[in-house]
Amino acid sequence: MNSDPLHPDVMRAFNFTLNDLEANRASILSEAQTTHLERSNQANRLLYVAIAALFIAPSLCMSDHLLQAVLLLSAFSVLAYGTFDRRAINRDIQRARINYLHGALEFRRSPTSWNNQSYLLRLRHDTRRKKTFNLTKDQWGTLREHYIGGLYRVYYTPHTSSVIALEPLNELEQPLLEANWSAAAPSLDAVVAAADAANIEDSVAPLADRG
């Protein structure tokens, strides 16, 4: 389906194989991807419980009731967020279906607390509409290193919006996409040009100026 084979490093960073990609093209999760989500969900449960325990343990021996209440509230918040996160992953697993979108890729970084950065991938549908995905630093850097330009198809889980695979569109697929492209939307060439301009801007702008 793809005249330009995906770079192995990109497949490694996003943890998918050609077999996974074939399943995703049919809008379903592969068996391996389902297993990976189940393991991630279990690991997340243990992680949230461990973080909550870090707040609960010191609160048990505190005489300061206000601080004790703050710590217990923090623990409850962690567990509540973890429950919401796990339910979203469970819905993705149970549904066993995935979504995909076509468009041009934009690579963005955004400063967060504690001098960290969030690594964002924006899929530009046209010059106005975008969908943003959170990536790991390794995924973001690897994909940008091997980015070949043009249009991509991005496969993602519907409830958690996690990118599970992606591939560049070949020259035979782009005319088919153009035929179904909204007449009111800018041309595909304009979409790609807008994304390329955004990537150049991100590469030269100081981090403090990035939003």
Q: Do residues 75 and 150 share a domain?
A: no
Q: pLDDT band at 68, cuts 50/70/90?
A: confident
Which residue, of 40, 62, 95, is where some domain finishes?
A: 95
Compute the distance between CA of residue 177 and CA of residue 175 in angstroms, rounded to an integer: 5
Is residue 1 in a domain?
A: no
Position 201 scores a pLDDT of 56
Higher-confidence position of 157 and 170: 157
Q: Do residues 203 and 137 share a domain?
A: yes
In the chain, pLDDT over 90 holds for what percent of residues? 27
**pLDDT tens figures, 100-144:** 988 888 898 888 766 678 899 988 765 567 889 999 999 999 999
The pLDDT of residue 30 is above 80: yes
Q: Do residues 49 and 147 share a domain?
A: no
Q: Do residues 102 and 91 share a domain?
A: no
Q: Do residues 144 and 173 share a domain?
A: yes
Q: Do residues 59 and 147 share a domain?
A: no
Rounded to an integer, the average pLDDT of 18-31 is: 95
Q: Do residues 51 and 70 share a domain?
A: yes
Q: Do residues 125 and 192 share a domain?
A: yes
Q: Do residues 15 and 109 share a domain?
A: yes
Is residue 38 in a domain?
A: yes
Q: Do residues 110 and 133 share a domain?
A: yes
Is residue 3 in a domain?
A: no
Rounded to an integer, the average pLDDT of 185-211 is: 53
Higher-confidence position of 111 and 199: 111
Higher-confidence position of 29 and 43: 29
The pLDDT of residue 184 is above 50: no
Q: Do residues 113 and 81 share a domain?
A: no
Position 208 scores a pLDDT of 37
Is residue 15 in a domain?
A: yes
The pLDDT of residue 157 is above 80: yes
Is residue 115 in a domain?
A: yes
Instruction: For residue 162, give Cα distances in angstroms to 66, 167, 210.
Output: 38, 15, 23
Average pLDDT value over all residues in the chain: 80
The parent domain of residue 172 ranges over 8-28+97-209
Is residue 134 in a domain?
A: yes
Which residue, of 75, 95, 115, is where some domain finishes?
A: 95
Number of domains in the chain: 2
Position 123 scores a pLDDT of 87
Which residue, of 50, 70, 95, is where some domain finishes?
A: 95
Position 126 scores a pLDDT of 56
Q: What is the CATH number of the domain that holds 187?
A: 2.40.50
Q: Do residues 156 and 128 share a domain?
A: yes
Is residue 158 in a domain?
A: yes
